Amino acid sequence: MEANNKNTKTFLQISVHLTGYDEMDLLGTGMLESYYDVVIHENNLHLVSEFLTTSEKILGDLPNINDKIRQQLIDDVKFNSLTSNIIMMWYMGTWNGNVVSPQSYIQGLVWKAADTHPPGAKQPGYGSWENPPITIHPPVAVKPAAKAETLTTV
Amino acid sequence: MENTEYDVIIVGSGIAGCVMAKTLTQAGKKVLLLEAGLSAGINLDKNGNFYNYVDYLNTYYKANAKVPNSPYPNIKDAPSPNVLDIQATPSVDKGYYVQEGELPFASDFLRGPGGTTLHWLGSTPRMLPNDFQMKTNYNVAVDWPITYNELVPYYEMAELEIGVAGDASVQPNANEYTKGYEFPMKKIPQSYLDQKFMALVDKVNKGEHPVQIDKKKVTIGLTSTPQGRNAVPNEKYPYIDVMWNAEQQKLVMTKHMYWSGKDRAFKELDKKEKYQYLPVGAVWDPNTGQRCEGNASCVPICPVQAKYNALKSLAKADESKLTIKTQSVASKVLHNGEKTQITGVVYKTYAFGDDAIEYKEVIATAKIYVLAANAIENAKILLASEAANSSKQVGCNLMDHLCLLTWGLLPEKGYPFRGPGSTTNISSFRDTDTRKDHSAWICPVDNWGWGWPKFSPGSDVQDAVKEKKFGKELRNHLSDVLPRQLLLHYECEQLPNKDNRVSIKDEYRDALGNHRPVIKYNVSDYEIKAFAAAKAINDQLFKAAGIKDFTKYGEKDENGKFKNPDIVTPPRSKEIYNFWGAGHIVGTHRMGKDADKSVVDKNLCTWDHNNLYLVGCGNMPTLGTSNPTLTMLALTFKAAEAILKKI
């Protein structure tokens, strides 16, 4: 369980740098566990384990991370297709061209990148298309809420 | 043989069949409606209907290629064509069509409850007056047996039935509409992309390098597209329902009478009540789909049913007069030779589920028979029955709009992939003198990026990943490119040609033993010339407007085969052109004023059998530049009126 959590975390963190979206965006898709499962089930476990170990090392060198990803994951024949597939999965919700699940289609990052929504879901409402899309800017830090008031019923 | 005697048997529950069933049952006629597709799709119980529809939607989400028929079941006992099966001809082993022509026919339709209105886009422009008289005006093709003016009252009925949103005053030939005519709903807002594009076109029109044809300046005109999807109701719209008036022996549009489903009768509106048109919501819940919600998935499925589909009309039929039989595939009409009456319709039923295979053949009888099974299916049934074909025109004159797609990147973001598929069209080339020489066209501005020719945005991600883009670089690239995608499609009018045809051969059959359509199809010089003319205009426009052209025809796949097999190459044409099907399947049992040159008369009754009517796009002698559904529905009302007069 512990190891699994650690691996999921590594998968999440390397996915941040592979997709260009931050942790909140990726977690917000609700797809992390499903996608991690797909990676596990669709690949040689030994390869996945090596991929995660390599990723962990790469994540330890944040200043050079893009160079490291390029050299060790993208340009590396061993990891290239796995890495590409992971990027495609986050963006399109597909693994090797097959849609993982109805939700994975809806949660594809490509719609966010194109400033739109997945066709057939998350509809923006009547007439919205007449105007440019509303761009959600990165959240600004907010002070933690004061101690929550206890609701009492009378 | 069934014992029940019906007034009318209708084959097919698409838009023509459903509106026919509604109109006839509301006028008190006893109707049997035969539908080839699955029972689940026609569930008139609201919960069952909803769950079935959600199943369609999930199937769509899960589909790898989100093509028009992807949400809907394809039944081996009543197969539908699929655009994914289109390949170079000859093609006998892939999909429903057997393709024996020079080029493959690339348009699909849906066999199932609601028919192709489940996946139609919903654009509803009328045909133009000149479209009905191509022979007289331009010395090509044939004239219709009726004029635009004769069809106007029925167009108005069709626009009420579908619930058209639009601005009538800006349509081409607006002066030929009834004076002061308004659509039931206000126009669907034109997209932000349309506005960006219109501004560019305006600049080109007024600038130093306007588009020219033969060195003469042409102004490119754009119009908002009328469409069958729910928008803000138009408070000036006066009509409530279409009703059979027995005294006048005609269908009339009511201003004070409304159909009460509860009372199964037309009722007088309470005098104190002020009438306002109310959009028709989802079949399972009238409060869902009151407005288009911008799902941007009209083709293949509107999740909230804000877009019209035929099941909405069927839900208004008088249930007490209507018998619906699903999983009942009509194969033949029976008769005793030429110029005799039809005596029955043969249909085959199939069980579905648990691998149970159980076929039954049944004959049903009525006073009048109506085939509403789609242009290709109607032709198939007639050919298999050796019926209505003394003119030898059944199956001939198969037509479609030939879509020449062009795509480029806008200089600024227009933010496509939002809103209905198209909200604006280039309308200024729909009826010009050039129709003597080549096809006219309408050119919708597409709101969904390069999805149609390039499978965007998936292909853009794929290509970028192949180029080893990742992280912020990938994200920024997609954010730059996808919002600038522009797609236009020049829908060129195809003329009737007896060699473009649907036929049947005994060796090609489906699981039920019914024939698969054997298609011969090609394009003519008249249409190829239009590709060149449209492309010349497009290229000038792109250049002057600063739209970077990415249009490419004749691309090949890894096996060296053309990705799009609908292609014309030199020496047939100067350049290579690809075209795409529009899904506008027309012409296979055309109407006319001469029995020896057409299949049905101007009331859509077959010349050969005076109790057999044909409805659907097969009746159209020519196609014009309009999406055909509205015109086809207008003709259906005309046919319904003729049937009610007869019985």
pLDDT tens readout for residues A30-83: 999 999 999 999 999 999 999 999 999 999 999 999 999 999 999 999 999 999
Closest among A138, A102, A128, A95 to B418, alpha carbons compared:
A128
Whether B199 is in a domain gets the answer no
Tens of pLDDT, residues A101-115? 999 999 999 999 999
Reply yes or no on whether the pLDDT at A154 is more than 50. no
Return the pLDDT at B2.
Answer: 54
Report the percentage of chain B scoring pLDDT > 90: 95
- Contact assignment for B192 to A127 by CB distance below 8 Å: no
Return the pLDDT at A138.
Answer: 53
Residues in contact with B588: Cβ distance below 8 Å, sequence separation at least 6, in sequence order: B375, B376, B378, B379, B394, B395, B396, B397, B398, B501, B502, B618
Mean pLDDT score across all residues of chain B: 96
Residue B323, SS3 per DSSP: strand
Cross-chain CB nearest to B470 (options A18, A129, A133): A18
C-alpha span between B343 and B323 (Å, rounded): 19
C-alpha span between B524 and A4 (Å, rounded): 64
Closest among B186, B124, B585 to B398, alpha carbons compared:
B585
Angle at B190 between CA B187 and CA B191, to 5 degrees: 150
Angle at B383 between CA B378 and CA B384, to 5 degrees: 100
Whether B292 is in a domain gets the answer yes
Backbone phi, psi, residue B436, to 5° = -65, -35
Dihedral Cα B1, B6, B8, B12, nearest 10 deg: -60
C-alpha span between B69 and B54 (Å, rounded): 15
Whether B569 is in a domain gets the answer no
Return the pLDDT at B303.
Answer: 98
Residue type at position B188: I
Comparing alpha-carbon positions, the chain B residue that sits nearest to A90 is B461
A-B contacts (CB, under 8 Å) = 147
C-alpha span between B141 and B396 (Å, rounded): 13
Tens of pLDDT, residues B137-149? 999 999 999 999 9
Can you give the residue range of the structural domain that contains B319? Answer: 6-188+225-401+493-523+579-646
Contact map slice: B 254-283 vs A, CB within 8 A: none
What residues of B are in contact with residue A70 (Cβ under 8 Å)? 468, 470
Residue type at position B349: T
Q: How confident is the model at residue B356 (pLDDT cuts 50, 70, 90)?
A: low
Whether B558 is in a domain gets the answer no
Which structure tokens are listed for B274? 């002020």
Taking the CA of residue B416 and the nearest CA in chain A, the distance in Å comes to 8
Taking the CA of residue A145 and the nearest CA in chain B, the distance in Å comes to 32
Reply yes or no on whether the pLDDT at A141 is more than 90. no
Taking the CA of residue B30 and the nearest CA in chain A, the distance in Å comes to 38
- φ/ψ region of B397 (left if φ > 0, alpha if ψ in -120 to 50, else beta) reads left
Q: For residues B402-423, give the mean pLDDT.
A: 98
Return the pLDDT at A153.
Answer: 41
Cross-chain CB nearest to B471 (options A20, A128, A129): A20
Q: For residues B604-610, give the mean pLDDT.
A: 98
- Contact assignment for A119 to B295 by CB distance below 8 Å: yes
Reply yes or no on whether the pLDDT at A149 is more than 50. no
C-alpha span between B246 and B266 (Å, rounded): 13
Reply yes or no on whether the pLDDT at A151 is more than 50. no
Comparing alpha-carbon positions, the chain A residue that sits nearest to B61 is A102
Lowest mean pLDDT among A69-73, A86-90, A132-136, B373-377: A132-136
DSSP B234-257: -TT----EEEEETTTTEEEEESSE
Q: How many domains does chain B have?
A: 1
Residue B344, SS3 per DSSP: strand
Closest among B124, B178, B168, B182 to B148, alpha carbons compared:
B178
C-alpha span between B190 and B420 (Å, rounded): 9
What residues of B are in contact with residue A97 (Cβ under 8 Å)? 64
What residues of B are in contact with residue A92 (Cβ under 8 Å)? 458, 461
C-alpha span between B488 and B492 (Å, rounded): 12
Return the pLDDT at B471.
Answer: 98
Partner A contacted by B447 (CB < 8 A): yes
* Helix axes A2-19 and A77-92, enclosed angle (nearest 10): 80
Q: For residues B241 and B224, is the Cβ–Cβ distance under 8 A?
A: no
Cross-chain CB nearest to A113 (options B413, B449, B482): B482
Return the pLDDT at B271.
Answer: 83
Return the pLDDT at B40.
Answer: 87
Whether B549 is in a domain gets the answer no
Whether B543 is in a domain gets the answer no
Q: Which residue, among A31, A83, A116, A122, would best test binding to B if mutated, counting the most B CBs under 10 Å from its CB?
A: A116
DSSP B416-431: -S-SSSEEEEE-TTSS
Mean pLDDT score across all residues of chain A: 90
Dihedral Cα A27, A31, A36, A40, nearest 10 deg: 180
Q: For residues B330-335, give the mean pLDDT.
A: 98
Partner A contacted by B479 (CB < 8 A): yes
Pairing of strands B265-268, B322-325: unpaired
The H or E element that residue B11 is part of is strand B6-11
- Contact assignment for A120 to B417 by CB distance below 8 Å: no
Partner A contacted by B57 (CB < 8 A): yes
Comparing alpha-carbon positions, the chain B residue that sits nearest to A127 is B189
Helices in B436-579 by DSSP H: which ranges?
A: 451-454, 458-466, 471-481, 525-545
What residues of B are in contact with residue A119 (Cβ under 8 Å)? 66, 295-297, 417, 448
Whether B613 is in a domain gets the answer yes
Whether B546 is in a domain gets the answer no
Task: Look up the CATH number of the domain holding residue B277.
Answer: 3.50.50.60
What residues of B are in contact with residue A77 (Cβ under 8 Å)? none
Pairing of strands B485-492, B441-446: antiparallel
Pairing of strands B485-492, B402-409: antiparallel
C-alpha span between B164 and B279 (Å, rounded): 10
How many C-beta atoms surround the C-beta of residue B47 within 10 A? 9
C-alpha span between A14 and A52 (Å, rounded): 9
Reply yes or no on whether the pLDDT at B339 is more than 90. no
Residues comprising chain A, all counted:
154
Residues in contact with B387: Cβ distance below 8 Å, sequence separation at least 6, in sequence order: B333, B335, B342, B606, B608, B609, B612
Taking the CA of residue A73 and the nearest CA in chain B, the distance in Å comes to 10
Q: For residues B546-569, give the mean pLDDT.
A: 97
C-alpha span between B531 and B491 (Å, rounded): 10
Partner A contacted by B418 (CB < 8 A): yes
Return the pLDDT at B4.
Answer: 67
What residues of A are in contact with residue B462 (Cβ under 8 Å)? 88
Cross-chain CB nearest to A113 (options B301, B465, B475): B475
Tens of pLDDT, residues B156-202? 999 999 999 999 999 999 999 999 999 999 999 999 999 999 999 99
Q: Which residue has the tokens 């006066």?
A: B238
Residue B142 half-sphere exposure, CB side, CA atoms within 13 Å?
19
Return the pLDDT at A145.
Answer: 45
Cross-chain CB nearest to B61 (options A21, A74, A120): A120
C-alpha span between B51 and B46 (Å, rounded): 9
Q: For residues B157 and B181, is the Cβ–Cβ distance under 8 A?
A: no
**Rg over CA atoms, chain B:** 24
Partner A contacted by B472 (CB < 8 A): yes
- Contact assignment for B447 to A129 by CB distance below 8 Å: yes
Reply yes or no on whether the pLDDT at B18 is more than 90. yes
